[in-house]
Amino acid sequence: MTPRSPASKVLGRPELLERYGRPRQGTLVFTNGCFDLLHPGHVAYLAEARALGDALVVGVNTDASVRRQAKGPDRPLVPETTRAMVLAGLESVDAVCLFDEDTPSTLIAALRPDVLVKGADYRLEDVVGREIVEADRGRVELIPFLEGYSTTELVRRIRRSREDDE
């Protein structure tokens, strides 16, 4: 079987809903995030998420959406189209869709995934879209992070390294 090109897995919302919306066969897993600097923690998290179903869709915050969050004035470091393409290159990811809203709730309501996944740093009651998924008899799963990996910490180390070089 020939692998799909990453570009073919980056979908606009209409195409995403056509391919992965209801009715559908199989179990659809959804997660979301900024995924600014992809690291082994992200890769492990996405592989675990994909193992929970038959397909994994990743919602990715647009650059504007990231800027509205408290990530820092210079984030994201990597442009949205690049972040989407890199994620789409992972075997565990079946589709990537950018969203510009502050939260993915509108995308989750349209897609209606069977499983909603977030990192274990969340509490179930704080997961955006939980009520939508559970109302459809779906479930929410929290996946522990791989210790020692954090985009925020990577950015801090890079900055310290640059300051030390000056």
Q: What pLDDT digit, counting tens, does each position of 34-47 carry?
A: 999 899 999 999 99
Cα distances from 111 to residues 26, 39, 114, 147, in angstroms, run 14, 27, 9, 31
Question: Residue 150: its pLDDT value, please?
Answer: 74
Question: Residue 164: its pLDDT value, please?
Answer: 73
Mean pLDDT, residues 45-58: 98
Question: Residue 1: its pLDDT value, please?
Answer: 67
Confidence of residue 94 (pLDDT cuts 50, 70, 90): very high
CA distance 141 to 52: 9
pTM, to two decimals: 0.91
- The residue ranking higher by pLDDT, 131 or 3, is 131
Report whether pLDDT(30) > 80. Answer: yes
Question: Residue 145: its pLDDT value, please?
Answer: 81
What strands, in cross-sheet order, belong to the sheet with 115-119? 95-99, 55-61, 28-33, 115-119, 139-143
Question: Residue 103: its pLDDT value, please?
Answer: 96
Q: Tens digits of per-residue pLDDT, 110-161?
A: 999 999 999 998 999 999 999 999 999 999 999 998 777 777 777 777 777 7
Mean pLDDT, residues 75-102: 96
CATH code of domain 6-165: 3.40.50.620
